[in-house]
């Protein structure tokens, strides 16, 4: 309401885990205590991928909903945070694009529980402010490196959207969103390592982005439902990109898994949302190397 959406940075001052019941054999990818790779084989270096994302971005620019200076600042900070965390920048950029269409003030005057660039809610703020180092120190180190200091407590502070502690400040929003995504990665990879399930780190990153949107419980329910009927066992989903992306098209697998934690109607709705979110992330961030199923259903319910 009357706020200037141009984002000029000012000088900066110096869930309990659900049990995973699947037991799988080992394959030689990333075994216990794996280190995150600095290069990512399935994710694109240039993003977004796909003509429809470029067309939508062009439309947002033409309507003034994404200003060039804000878009550039988001991209700059995506690269900075991703570099610090060995995170695929394409995935982080595509995630915040899906969440807010790069609008760092999204929902600021709506009264909705989730707002801002990465659609942070109470639980997101609580983790960043009080449990940031639950899975390691790299998220805190990234905040300090990218922002110049630790700006916590971070919150949906509306009075000064350029304050480093405000989630509406673009560098803070990108860094906090990256930290939250990074914690999902650490949580999921630690569960796999505890059960000695080898994994491709890029595929854990992809599941981390799904957990960012639909919660870690949802991802663990999918894992627990792997290896039944048409869906391959978890060890294949964690090592073969094509197997994972095909499985995420399986409406029954996703719905049945989510019914373990949500009522039927809600599970069906959340399952549809999860499948669409997965397709959009895939089509936006994954490079073309035969891993993406030929049929593109990402236009469903955009």
To the nearest 10 degrees (0 to 180), the angle between helices 170-194 and 138-147 is: 160
pLDDT tens by residue, the chain, 302 residues: 344 444 444 433 332 334 444 333 333 344 444 456 556 889 999 999 989 999 999 999 999 999 999 999 999 999 999 999 999 999 999 999 999 999 999 999 988 999 999 999 999 999 999 999 999 999 999 999 999 999 999 999 999 999 999 999 999 999 999 999 999 999 999 999 999 999 999 999 999 999 999 999 999 999 999 997 789 999 999 999 999 999 999 999 999 999 999 999 999 999 999 999 999 999 999 997 666 665 443 443 33
Task: Give the pLDDT confidence score for residue 228 in this predicted structure.
Answer: 79
66 to each of 57, 112, 116, 185, how far by Cα in Å?
Answer: 8, 21, 14, 29
Q: How far apart are CA 59 and CA 90, in angstroms?
A: 20
* Residue from 191, 194, 199 nearest 216 by CA: 191
Task: Give the pLDDT confidence score for residue 8 in this predicted structure.
Answer: 44
Rg from Cα positions in the chain: 19
Task: Give the pLDDT confidence score for residue 295 in this predicted structure.
Answer: 40
Task: Give the pLDDT confidence score for residue 22 in this predicted structure.
Answer: 35
Task: Give the pLDDT confidence score for residue 291 in this predicted structure.
Answer: 67
Task: Give the pLDDT confidence score for residue 10 in this predicted structure.
Answer: 40
Give the domains, in start order, of the chain with CATH numbers: 51-285 (1.10.530)
Task: Give the pLDDT confidence score for residue 111 in this predicted structure.
Answer: 86
């Amino acid at each position: 309401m009357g706020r200037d959406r141009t984002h000029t940075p000012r000088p900066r001052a110096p869930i309990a885990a659900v049990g995973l019941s699947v037991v799988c054999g080992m394959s030689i990818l990333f075994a216990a205590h794996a280190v995150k790779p600095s290069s990512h084989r399935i994710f694109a270096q240039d993003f977004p991928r796909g003509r429809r994302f470029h067309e939508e971005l062009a439309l947002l620019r033409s309507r003034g909903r994404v200003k060039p200076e804000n878009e550039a600042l988001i991209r700059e900070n995506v690269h900075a945070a991703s570099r610090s965390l060995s995170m695929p920048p394409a995935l982080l950029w595509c995630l915040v694009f899906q969440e807010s269409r790069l609008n760092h003030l999204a929902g600021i005057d709506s009264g909705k529980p989730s707002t801002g660039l990465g659609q942070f809610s109470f639980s997101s703020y609580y983790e960043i402010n009080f449990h940031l180092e639950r899975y390691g120190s790299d998220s805190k180190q990234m905040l300090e490196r990218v922002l110049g200091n630790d700006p916590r407590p971070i919150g949906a502070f509306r009075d000064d959207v350029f304050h480093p502690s405000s989630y509406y400040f673009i560098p803070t929003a990108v860094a906090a969103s990256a930290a939250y995504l990074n914690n999902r990665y650490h949580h999921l990879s630690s569960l796999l390592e505890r059960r000695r399930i080898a994994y491709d780190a890029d595929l854990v990153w992809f599941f981390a982005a799904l957990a960012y949107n639909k919660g870690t419980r949802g991802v663990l329910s999918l894992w627990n439902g792997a290896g039944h009927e048409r869906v391959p066992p978890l060890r294949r989903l964690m090592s073969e990109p094509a197997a994972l992306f095909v499985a995420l098209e399986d409406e029954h697998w996703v719905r049945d898994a989510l019914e373990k934690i949500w009522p039927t109607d809600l599970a069906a709705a959340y399952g549809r949302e999860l499948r669409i979110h997965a397709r959009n992330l895939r089509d936006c961030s994954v490079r073309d190397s035969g891993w993406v199923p030929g049929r593109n259903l990402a236009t469903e319910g955009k």
